[in-house]
């Protein structure tokens, strides 16, 4: 795991390459072991690298790295898990090897096969920048699911790229102008989806894409567009067209074999390695399959909370004891967790508002005291139907869609208006046949307001987008903004027609929430501690198998991840696992009314909001006041605003 950064400056001038050192120094945490730089004076290309040594600890693994024929120069962040197999394929074409790093393997593949073919053959997580000295083409590429970040863009006549925005900001040509439209998008989701970033002119390269920038043609370079070499939608369509037709037992065998292969490949390292363990299905199956490799006792790490409502440490401890791992656990107090909050804007580099970023950072800090690499169980919910949303949303939409659209819109308008509690109760009672019991009982205040918005949805897709929105109309909170298009509201980017709603939800989450929120959260939290994380469930071969599986092997008897559970139960008793899903959450609502109150109040001060000019204070102050007086839990809406405000202070 490393960090990369670089730029292209076509204007010869003294010191034009000087910013490179500052760029890579800003991401030293991603690679504290070594730094490297290389420049092409004629073409104006500068490549920089920070190294966290995982494979080939000697200088033979240093970057930037040159191909044997001298044509290509590359900087690379990530791991190629099948690089030994790729070396075998190159035996007749590749020169003698200088070391055993996956970087050298990848570079030899690019020189032999070309970039796109290499990307299709590689199994791993990565962000790559490679300069072709003959063609004068700079290529950037990102792994299939977006585990590793890669920002890029033009700032004036300078092209720049890097693993984190702070690296680009270190270049004097970076204007770092906040994009108000993207700010509105951020308020809706709590994260900034690719291809956008918070800054105008700077993009995230989408997962599974590469771009070739021809520097011999400046106009062509500016107009270069990214291309997919792998597509989640294509994997979905192919899987559905070629469904798994075996029995339950055969499906369990097939999934276990594929997961064992993935875990085995991701345990390749020349440094200490362990796993995060929450005691839930996903992390437990990864720990179990690691231990099953027979390579000695693995290390597992859990963070517990002193507040028992959020503490899963006892469950993780029980799983660790059953598996026989070397288990490390730390219990943190609210004061410990709150001490992390001031660091979040620097760690996450652009506004990011998943409050589980706090415990994720803390468990990464714990693991780094013992290992350099940690495997995680992320991706299981999106692939195997684990989120409660996959049960609630289809059931609720099925009921609501039986009500005529006009009637739903009328009821929504009534519930949105300032009405008495008795009229609200009457309106909700009239919708009795169409509402789940829990919703009828809790649809008050902000929940009733949100439900009113859900009633007005014209399609199941619009219904889901409203469900996951933190701010229903973020443009009202961000003046002079127009929310840009994302995959969630662009039907042209959806998977094939006719998908059951549950599968459509999983497909969307895997392409939006997973890379935009979950993988961003884990990458930044871990790399801030110089810890490499790996995600075996996101091996593309696991993904492709998962989409061949019928829905009833994922969600059965009202419970998600059925097939993944069956694999786990071959290694861990069901009694240690079966319990309500908690997630990696913190008591954010209580913190905002208690120990974080003064911090939040200063950031949400009305005069300050007006002076800075990014937010309309009225809806924000209204949400803050309702939260403080206990009428509603507005923490999910307020946290994105607070994280932006805290981030803005660091700019």
Active-site amino acid positions: 2
Q: Helices 357-368 and 520-527: crossing angle, nearest 10°?
A: 40
The neighbour count for residue 172, using CB atoms within 10 Å, is 11
The answer to whether the CB of 205 falls within 8 A of the CB of 152 is yes
373 and 274 Cβ atoms separated by less than 8 Å: yes
Q: For residue 612, what are the contacts with CB-CB under 8 A and spacing of at least 6?
A: 648
Q: Give the 3-state secondary structure percentages of the chain, helix then strand then coil, rounded to 5.
A: 50, 15, 35
Give the angle 69-75-76 at the CA atoms, nearest 5°.
115
Question: Residue 199 gets which letter from DSSP?
Answer: B
H helical segments located in 401-459? 405-416, 421-430, 437-442, 445-455
E strand or H helix at 274: strand 273-276
CB 241 within 8 A of CB 548: no
Sheet holding 151-155, edge to edge: 34-40, 45-51, 2-8, 158-162, 151-155, 202-204
Residue 206: alpha-carbon gap to chain centroid = 12
Q: What is the DSSP letter of 514?
A: I
Q: Residue 282 in contact with residue 380, Cβ under 8 Å?
A: yes
Contacts of 603 (CB under 8 A, 6+ apart): 641, 642, 645, 646
**Is 371 in a helix, a strand, or coil?**
coil
Residue 169 · residue 346 · CB < 8 Å? no
The rounded distance, in Å, linking the Cα atoms of 649 and 116 is: 41
Do 550 and 242 contact (CB within 8 A), yes or no?
no
CB atoms within 10 A of CB 387: 18
Q: 327 near 317, Cβ under 8 Å? A: yes
> C-alpha distances in angstroms, 563 versus 259, 386, 566?
12, 11, 5
**Phi, psi (degrees; rounded to nearest 5) at 545:** -65, -40
Give phi and psi for 435, each to the nearest 5.
Answer: -115, 140
d(CA 501, CA 480): 35
Q: Measure the CA–CA gap between 377 and 361, rounded to whole angstroms.
A: 16
Full strand arrangement of the beta sheet holding 209-214: 65-66, 72-80, 124-132, 137-142, 209-214, 227-228
CA distances from 327 to 281, 297, 317, 318 (A): 17, 10, 7, 10
E strands, 432-536, in order: 532-534
CB 328 within 8 A of CB 354: no
H or E element that contains 366: helix 357-368
Sign of CA dihedral 295, 293, 527, 138: positive
């Amino acid at each position: 795991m490393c960090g990369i950064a670089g730029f292209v400056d076509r204007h010869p001038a003294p010191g034009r390459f000087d910013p490179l050192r500052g760029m890579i120094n800003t991401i030293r945490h991603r690679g504290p072991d070594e730094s490297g730089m290389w420049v092409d004076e004629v073409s104006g290309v500068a490549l920089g690298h920070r190294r966290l040594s995982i494979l080939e600890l000697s200088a033979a693994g240093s970057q930037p790295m040159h191909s044997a024929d001298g044509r290509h120069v590359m900087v690379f962040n990530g791991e190629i898990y099948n690089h030994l197999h790729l070396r075998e394929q190159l035996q007749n074409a590749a020169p003698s090897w200088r070391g055993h790093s996956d970087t050298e393997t990848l570079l030899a593949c690019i020189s032999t096969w070309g970039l796109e073919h290499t990307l299709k053959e590689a199994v791993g997580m990565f962000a790559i920048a490679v300069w072709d000295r003959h063609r004068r083409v700079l290529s950037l590429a990102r792994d299939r699911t977006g585990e590793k970040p890669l920002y890029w863009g033009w700032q004036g006549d300078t092209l720049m790229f890097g693993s984190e925005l702070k690296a680009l900001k270190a270049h004097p040509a970076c204007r770092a102008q906040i994009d108000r439209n993207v700010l509105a998008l951020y308020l809706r989701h709590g994260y900034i989806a690719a291809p956008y970033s918070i800054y105008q002119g700077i993009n995230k390269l989408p997962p599974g894409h590469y771009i070739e920038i021809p520097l011999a043609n400046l106009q062509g370079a500016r107009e270069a567009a990214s291309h997919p070499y792998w597509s989640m939608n294509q994997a979905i369509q192919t899987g559905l067209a070629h469904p798994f037709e075996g029995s339950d037992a055969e499906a369990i065998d097939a999934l276990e074999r594929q997961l064992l292969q993935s875990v085995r490949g991701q345990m390749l390292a020349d440094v200490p390695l362990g796993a995060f363990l929450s005691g839930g299905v996903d992390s437990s199956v990864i720990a179990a399959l690691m231990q099953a490799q027979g390579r000695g006792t693995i290390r597992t790490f859990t963070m517990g909370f002193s507040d028992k409502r959020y503490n899963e440490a006892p469950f993780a401890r029980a799983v660790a004891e059953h598996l026989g791992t070397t288990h490390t656990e730390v219990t943190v107090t609210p004061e410990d967790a709150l001490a992390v909050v001031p660091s979040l804007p620097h760690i996450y580099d652009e506004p990011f508002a998943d409050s589980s970023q706090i415990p994720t950072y803390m468990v990464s800090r714990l693991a780094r005291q013992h290992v350099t690499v940690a495997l995680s169980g992320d991706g299981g919910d999106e692939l195997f139907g684990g989120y409660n949303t996959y049960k609630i949303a289809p059931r609720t939409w099925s009921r609501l869609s039986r009500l005529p659209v006009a009637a739903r819109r009328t009821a929504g308008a009534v519930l949105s208006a300032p009405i008495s509690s008795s009229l609200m109760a009457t309106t909700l009672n009239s919708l009795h046949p169409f509402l789940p019991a829990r919703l009828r009982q809790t649809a008050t205040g902000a929940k009733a307001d949100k439900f009113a918005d859900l009633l007005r949805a014209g399609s199941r897709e619009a219904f889901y987008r409203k469900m996951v929105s933190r701010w229903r109309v973020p443009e009202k909170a961000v003046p002079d903004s127009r929310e840009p298009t994302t995959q969630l509201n662009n039907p042209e980017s959806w998977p094939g027609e006719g998908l059951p709603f549950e599968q459509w939800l999983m497909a969307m989450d895997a392409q939006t929430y997973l890379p935009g929120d979950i993988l961003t959260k884990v990458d930044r939290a871990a790399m801030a501690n110089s810890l490499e994380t790996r995600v075996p469930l996101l091996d593309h071969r696991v993904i492709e198998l998962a989409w061949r599986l019928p829905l009833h092997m994922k969600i059965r008897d009202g419970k998600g991840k059925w097939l993944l559970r069956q694999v786990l139960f071959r290694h861990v008793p069901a009694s240690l696992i079966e319990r309500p899903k908690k997630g990696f959450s913190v008591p954010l609502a209580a913190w905002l009314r208690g120990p974080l109150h003064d911090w939040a109040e200063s950031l949400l001060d009305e005069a300050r909001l007006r002076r800075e000019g990014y937010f309309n204070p009225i809806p924000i102050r209204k949400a803050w006041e309702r939260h403080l007086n206990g009428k509603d839990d507005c923490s999910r809406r307020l946290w994105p605003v607070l994280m932006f405000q805290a981030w803005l202070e660091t700019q």
